[in-house]
Amino acid sequence: MTHANTENERRKENEKFVEGLDYYFDDGLMVLTAHFLKKRGYCCENGCRHCPYGFSKSIVNESP
């Protein structure tokens, strides 16, 4: 196995979702946690329930 393959395998391991840590289910929908959203490293501006970046669709909708 080459170094690149080993590095890719490690990256894939780190990218796996962990239920209860990265997400949970609420009424059949997957809800991402603040832990996962912060780990992802950017705000998607979709108004996520646990957005650690402070984005809120209601704030955007209220601005002129």
Q: Helices H, strands E: what count in the chain?
A: 3, 2
CA distance 37 to 58: 19
pLDDT of residue 5 exceeding 90, the answer is no
Closest CA to 36 of 51, 57, 26: 51
Mean predicted lDDT score pLDDT of the chain: 84
pLDDT at 61: 59
Averaged pLDDT, 46-51: 94
- pTM for the model: 0.65
The stretch 36-59 carries a mean pLDDT of 92
Name which residue leads in pLDDT, 54 or 7: 54
